A and B are shown apart, each in its own frame.
Chain A
């Protein structure tokens, strides 16, 4: 599956549009990581636990996006956008969306 955030794919042409596909996941941080984060808020620096957590969630959202596109029979997802929102204290939603298309070698 080709995933791109451009509207066009170099060297390929879009032959069919299959509409919007989306994938989302809501993740909460666990308490241990939160305590570490509390300490980091004093000393500063990168929160590696959170970085990993969020990038795992993003992979999850992307794989859901991909599943949806496969169901529609697409072979590419274009114009992909990410969006993150903290919906409650300690939980955030990762959302990814794009257009499912069928592309062909030009």
Chain B
């Protein structure tokens, strides 16, 4: 009975704090996405001719986001019946958007106007004793193109 109590407590804590963290994160993502919209991010391999005179440099952004207890249980239950795992979908969505935002912030500090050849790299780290997803790292990187007048060598 005591064990079940602990389980319920963890589940509630995970649900309440996980929800809070997630909605806070989404609010911040929406705000910063609106602010950084002018730094173009494109997965195109070749920049168009207008960027011919720009300097280029590597831009990266990464984030490690942890699951919460509720998500772990929800995903485990979903694993029994199959189908979409909403708990993890929103986790990865947040991680990818955050990684892009950090890359954009870095690019803007360097004076870049666009980032081309966007690539993602996802890896799981710190597994819950190998049983479930512990936390996920997303790296976004690309080539930042800087107009020449902003060149910093």
Contact = CB atoms under 8 A, between A and B. Distances in A.
B63 interface: yes
Contact of B143 (A4, A40, A46): A4
Contacts, number: 135
Nearest to A85: B123
B62 A54 contact: yes
A40 B145 CA distance: 37
B39 interface: no
Interface of A: 2-11, 29, 34, 37, 40-48, 50-51, 54-55, 58, 62, 80-86, 89-90, 92
Given A44-B17, A86-B124, A11 B64 contact: no
A10 B66 contact: no
B139 interface: yes
Contacts of A82: 60, 119, 121, 139, 141
Contacts of B22: 44
A46 B53 contact: no
Interface of B: 10, 13-14, 17-18, 21-22, 25, 45-47, 51-54, 56-58, 60, 62-69, 71-72, 98, 116-117, 119, 121, 123-128, 130, 134-135, 137, 139, 141-143, 145
18 contacts: A3-B58, A5-B119, A6-B46, A6-B143, A7-B46, A10-B52, A11-B53, A42-B13, A44-B22, A44-B66, A45-B21, A46-B64, A46-B98, A47-B64, A47-B135, A54-B125, A84-B137, A84-B139
Nearest to A44: B68
B119 A41 contact: no
A36 to B, nearest CB: 10
A68 to B, nearest CB: 16
Which 10 residue pairs across A and B have the least CB separation, nearest first?
A44-B68, A44-B18, A50-B64, A40-B66, A84-B123, A43-B17, A45-B21, A47-B64, A3-B58, A42-B69
